[in-house]
Copies of this chain bind each other. A is one copy, B any other.
């Protein structure tokens, strides 16, 4: 357990799709790293999740869209709580550098 994992390193060389990596998983919680590079959600798709989610941008930037039409810009250090079943999508992430997200999914 004395082994640290650096979330800003070990970035895949190609990112044709978003990269998902679970850091911790128990019944109650899943902590996940996501790396995007210019990715966004499919135009018609929404994330509609059974669990609450808390997201934090570690690096890069993104714009999220919510079902009510509002948009949220997130840069480094910005965090956002997304309650279960609040539909959301990623509208934009920085195309020229990776956006590294930390996501905590929890009951």
Interface residue ranges, A against B (CB under 8 Å): 1-9, 23-24, 26-29, 31, 52, 54, 56, 58, 66, 70, 72-74, 76-83, 86, 102, 104, 106-107
Contacts and interface: CB of A to CB of B under 8 A. Distances in A.
B23 A54 contact: yes
Q: How many copies does the complex hold?
A: 2
Contacts of A5: 78-80
A27 B106 CA distance: 10
Nearest to A33: B79
Main secondary structure of the interface of A (DSSP, over half): strand
Contacts of A8: 76-77
B104 A56 contact: no
A23 to B, nearest CB: 7
Contacts of A73: 4
A102 to B, nearest CB: 7
Contact of A1 (B7, B27, B76, B81): B81
Contact of A56 (B3, B27, B80, B102): B102
A56 B54 CA distance: 15
